[in-house]
Chain A
Amino acid sequence: MNTLAFVVVPYLCLAVFVVGHVWRWRHDQMGWTTHTSQLLEGRLLRLASPLFHLGALGVVGGHVIGLLIPASWTHAVGISEHAYHVVAVGGGTVSGLMLAAGFVLLVIRRRMTPKVFRATTRTDKLLYAAMGWMILLGMTATVGVNIFGEGYDYREELAVWFRQIFWLQPESHLMADAPLVYQAHAVSGFLFMALWPFTRLVHVWSAPLAYLWRPYVVYRGRPGNAPTASRTPSDVRDSALPR
């Protein structure tokens, strides 16, 4: 059971994540967009969208720090366990609350604005359900377990297991003792990654940082070949005349 959840599923999901992105990139450039709905509704979006996106950036950054940097490294540079914990839980809670608040507002906006709701596809709805589930589990893990509960040091076991996945040597028993909410969050996270390439989330990879360096006006040559000249109206007229 542990092997299935913590070895098989992650690898399957990562495979779908990678292959899915390659397929989507080659198959669907036209659909690769933020799919903005600001035109249809702007007032609520002005508040909710930055809240959601900045929260999401914080949450992603927190996951990178927590999962990819081994505890021994932070100890080596002299960051105490307590200091790390305070920063991680504090930062995680603030980012998570921003993300959750933005998400709830965005979903309310999407549901309550008929124009926006009409523009919502089935994939979008699946994505919102999955994202809501992820936020719920993540906030429960951070706030429920670490602030109000007995606490769980995910860096001892969970993060080790996560890094092992990329060394191709995952030890599923490391996850066996983790609280249920952490286990669920981890497995759901991989499933979420598998969903990623098929949703509007692909716009994340198009974050336009290159804009900071490129020249303002872009010139491009006409693609393809020149078309042949079409007949002028006088040609058309003359050819219609009886001879």
Chain B
Amino acid sequence: MKLRAQVAMVMNLDKCIGCHTCSVTCKQTWTNREGTEYVWFNNVETKPGIGYPKHYEDQERWHGGWKLDGKGRLVLRSGGRAKRLTRIFANPDLPSLADYYEPATFDKDILVNAPEGLLDTPVKQPRSALTGEPMAIEWGANWEDGLGGAHERADTDPNIVAMEKATSEKVRFEFEKTFMFHLPRICEHCLNPACVSACPSGAMYKREEDGIVLVDQDKCRGWRMCVSACPYKKVYVNHATGKAEKCTFCFPRIEAGQPTICSETCVGRLRYLGIVFYDEDAVLAAASVEDEHDLLDAQRAVFLDPHDPAVQQAAREAGMPQEWLDAAEASPVWRLISDYKIALPLHPEYRTLPMVWYVPPLSPVLDAVGAAGRDDADADDVFHTIRDLRIPVEYLAELFTAGDADAAAGVLMKLAAMRSYMRSRTLDGTVAEDLLEKMGMSADEVEAMYRLLAIAKYDERYVIPTAYTKDAAALEAQAASTSDCSLDCEGGPGMGGSGGATTATVEKFHLVADDDGVRPGRTPWKSRRSDGRLGLSLDPMPGGAS
């Protein structure tokens, strides 16, 4: 057994109202730079829908993630090492900008400088943020918000295509009584990351301490294999720096014990952050399970019980401070995934062992209950609907349980039972023993689960231990150092391996770069010295790291 800790997230989809606050604050924090205009480390999709980038879940087309080969061995879907190197000159699986969207901005001067007394209202025209040319806006990262355009496109949602034909046709047929929910997505920081495995330069890595997956900006050489290997399409090319960038799990905040910016600003308070212990030696076997329906249980089995004294001992031997052991015991993520078993991974069939899990939404089912003329407050009616009306359930199963509708239905029934239990508990003070029996939980457990899902406060939702250093002397040195900044270099996203720091956050809102001489992220080859002379830039460690 090789114990490691992983910072993980669970999102409770029933509480997502699709306000995109997470996306906006994430973008302001990380990707408001030239080269990342089209990049959303966090985006919120409406499901059913084809997603961002378009049809990213269709792995027949993009060849992301892992699969089992003929002999049952785990291989990257895009092929082995030698095959990847033969495709290095042109990656056939790379999405084009059109698959994301062409970023646009507006020429607002035309409004500001409009002369008085115009008969027509001046109109600002959309312009491409890449070329400055006028353009028509035809797609965006949340184009399908609230099922926009669903009547034209949603039936090409890879999850609907993957459903059994009889059921998927029913989805289209019953679209008047449609269902929808929002799906916020960030990088999954997988235990078995396909992007890291596909990186030819070895620039991508998983951090030993907290499992966060990062791109070393100094080592990335722009081979762009990570972009296509990631089945969630959460690694992006910065077209200005020519390097890959991805969600950083806001590691500077996590290290300081703060939640990620998407969690911090989440209006619905639907995100939970905590650590889980897992056995690194068990990852490969769990990812290689033959039957896709067994993947969920296999992934749960990789996690180690933080209450187990043997596990605690192993964690101490691995050099973890007591704070981490305490955090693991109090982890809301562990409770939702392994205690209550109501959180599910997104697309376990990609075999990457994703570390952002979801409590599936009950709301589409409740909509279906109402549409069927039943009582959505009655547990039995809800149960019957889950059994009879397979549409939302099977759709959720495609997303979260590799198509295993029974597993998805089990979680939904648990959530419905909890609601019914709490309703009778609150309204007439009765304890619904029959529901407890169905759920296989005690009254205290159900109420604790309810509290975690419904009213958990900041400190309960985010249990994040501060980063530790095995070398105590380094801690003292840290106290003396003053700089602590999230960006490693100008134009860069701050994922550098050398731990460099700059003095200020870089914000650029150029329509088009004025000076084409120097690429963003690079210091110019000549610079003005302090005495005013022009000279070669000879700083061996750009960014001022010491």
Residues of A with C-beta under 8 A to B242: 33-36
Residues of B with C-beta under 8 A to A203: 221-222
Report the bound CA distance from A210 to B200 in whole Å: 8
A30, B489: Cβ atoms under 8 Å? Answer: yes
Which label, helix, strand, loop or mixed, suits the secondary structure of the A interface? Answer: loop
> If the complex has contacts A211-B85, A226-B475, are A38 and B258 also in contact, measured as CB distance less than 8 A?
no
- B233 within 8 A of partner (CB): no
Residues of A with C-beta under 8 A to B497: 220, 223
State which of A54, A211, A230 has its C-beta within 8 Å of the C-beta of B84: A211
- B239 within 8 A of partner (CB): yes
Residues of B with C-beta under 8 A to A46: 90, 92
Instruction: List CB contacts (< 8 Å) of A13-43 with chain B.
Output: 23, 26-42
Report the bound CA distance from A221 to B485 in whole Å: 19
Interface pick from A116-124, A148-156, A183-191: A116-124
- A115 within 8 A of partner (CB): yes
Residues of B with C-beta under 8 A to A53: 89
Chain B: minimal CB distance from A32 (Å): 7
Chain B: minimal CB distance from A194 (Å): 14
Chain B: minimal CB distance from A129 (Å): 16
Report the bound CA distance from A172 to B296 in whole Å: 73
B478, A225: Cβ atoms under 8 Å? Answer: yes
State which of A29, A37, A50 has its C-beta within 8 Å of the C-beta of B239: A37
A27, B542: Cβ atoms under 8 Å? Answer: yes
Residues of B with C-beta under 8 A to A198: 525
- B79 within 8 A of partner (CB): no
Q: 1/0 contact trace for B163-199 toward A, CB 8 Å?
A: 0000000000000000000000000000011001101
Chain B: minimal CB distance from A85 (Å): 30
> If the complex has contacts A39-B96, A220-B207, are A122 and B202 also in contact, measured as CB distance less than 8 A?
no
A211, B478: Cβ atoms under 8 Å? Answer: no
- B507 within 8 A of partner (CB): no
Instruction: List CB contacts (< 8 Å) of B182-230 with chain A.
Output: 192-193, 196-197, 199-202, 204-210, 217-224
Residues of A with C-beta under 8 A to B525: 27-28, 198
Interface pick from B44-52, B270-278, B516-524: B516-524
Residues of A with C-beta under 8 A to B224: 36, 38-39
Residues of B with C-beta under 8 A to A77: none
Report the bound CA distance from A243 to B257 in whole Å: 27
Chain B: minimal CB distance from A157 (Å): 36
Q: Nearest CB to that of B473 among chain A residues? A: A225
Instruction: List CB contacts (< 8 Å) of B523-546 with chain A.
Output: 523, 525, 536-540, 542
- B481 within 8 A of partner (CB): yes
Report the bound CA distance from A233 to B462 in whole Å: 12
Residues of A with C-beta under 8 A to B132: 118
- B301 within 8 A of partner (CB): no
> If the complex has contacts A38-B224, A223-B498, are A121 and B96 also in contact, measured as CB distance less than 8 A?
no
Q: 1/0 contact trace for B105-122 toward A, CB 8 Å?
A: 000000000000000000
A217, B192: Cβ atoms under 8 Å? Answer: yes
> If the complex has contacts A38-B224, A39-B96, are A214 and B202 also in contact, measured as CB distance less than 8 A?
yes
State which of B208, B218, B222 has its C-beta within 8 Å of the C-beta of A221: B208
Residues of A with C-beta under 8 A to B448: none
> If the complex has contacts A36-B242, A217-B206, A225-B475, are A206 and B519 also in contact, measured as CB distance less than 8 A?
no
Chain B: minimal CB distance from A34 (Å): 4
Residues of B with C-beta under 8 A to A33: 220-222, 241-243
Interface pick from B20-28, B375-383, B464-472: B464-472
B478, A42: Cβ atoms under 8 Å? Answer: no
> If the complex has contacts A27-B523, A35-B242, A225-B475, are A118 and B538 also in contact, measured as CB distance less than 8 A?
no
Report the bound CA distance from A75 to B85 in whole Å: 36
Report the bound CA distance from A37 to B459 in whole Å: 45
> If the complex has contacts A30-B521, A211-B200, are A226 and B223 also in contact, measured as CB distance less than 8 A?
no
- A45 within 8 A of partner (CB): yes
> If the complex has contacts A28-B522, A30-B542, are A225 and B516 also in contact, measured as CB distance less than 8 A?
no
Residues of A with C-beta under 8 A to B210: 222
B540, A27: Cβ atoms under 8 Å? Answer: yes
Q: Nearest CB to that of A233 among chain B residues? A: B458
Report the bound CA distance from A40 to B35 in whole Å: 11
A30, B492: Cβ atoms under 8 Å? Answer: yes
Q: 1/0 contact trace for B477-517 toward A, CB 8 Å?
A: 11101001000010010000111000000000000100011
Report the bound CA distance from A76 to B128 in whole Å: 64
> If the complex has contacts A30-B522, A211-B84, are A35 and B222 also in contact, measured as CB distance less than 8 A?
yes
> If the complex has contacts A29-B219, A30-B522, A198-B525, are A38 and B512 also in contact, measured as CB distance less than 8 A?
no
Q: 1/0 contact trace for A171-194 toward B, CB 8 Å?
A: 000000000000000000000000
> If the complex has contacts A36-B224, A216-B196, A226-B467, are A221 and B521 also in contact, measured as CB distance less than 8 A?
no
A49, B90: Cβ atoms under 8 Å? Answer: yes
- B91 within 8 A of partner (CB): yes
Q: Nearest CB to that of B480 among chain A residues? A: A225
- A4 within 8 A of partner (CB): no
Residues of B with C-beta under 8 A to A30: 217-218, 241, 243, 489, 492, 521-523, 542
Chain A: minimal CB distance from B403 (Å): 26
- A232 within 8 A of partner (CB): yes
The residue in A35, A54, A218, A223 that gathers the most chain B C-beta atoms within 10 A of its C-beta is A218
B540, A26: Cβ atoms under 8 Å? Answer: yes
Instruction: List CB contacts (< 8 Å) of A218-243 with chain B.
Output: 218-230, 232-234
State which of B196, B217, B222, B539 has its C-beta within 8 Å of the C-beta of A27: B539
The residue in A49, A211, A212 that gathers the most chain B C-beta atoms within 10 A of its C-beta is A211
> If the complex has contacts A37-B239, A217-B206, A219-B205, are A232 and B478 also in contact, measured as CB distance less than 8 A?
no
Report the bound CA distance from A203 to B131 in whole Å: 26
Residues of B with C-beta under 8 A to A122: 516-517
Residues of B with C-beta under 8 A to A34: 221-223, 242
Residues of A with C-beta under 8 A to B192: 217
State which of B239, B257, B536 has its C-beta within 8 Å of the C-beta of A40: B239
B218, A217: Cβ atoms under 8 Å? Answer: no
- B413 within 8 A of partner (CB): no
Q: Nearest CB to that of B219 among chain A residues? A: A29
Q: A23-B536, A218-B196, A221-B209 are in contact. List 16 more A-B contacts (CB 8 A).
A: A31-B522, A36-B224, A38-B90, A38-B237, A49-B90, A118-B132, A121-B518, A123-B517, A203-B222, A218-B205, A219-B208, A220-B205, A221-B208, A223-B498, A225-B481, A227-B256
| Interface pairs (27), CB distance under 8 Å | A27-B537, A27-B542, A28-B525, A30-B218, A30-B542, A33-B220, A33-B221, A34-B221, A35-B242, A39-B239, A114-B130, A122-B517, A198-B525, A203-B222, A208-B200, A212-B82, A217-B197, A219-B208, A221-B207, A221-B209, A222-B208, A226-B474, A226-B478, A227-B256, A227-B466, A229-B256, A230-B257
Q: Which residues of B approach A to under 8 Å, CB–CB?
A: 81-82, 84-85, 88-92, 94-97, 128, 130-133, 192-193, 196-197, 199-202, 204-210, 217-224, 237, 239-243, 252, 255-258, 458-459, 466-469, 474-475, 477-479, 481, 484, 489, 492, 497-499, 512, 516-519, 521-523, 525, 536-540, 542
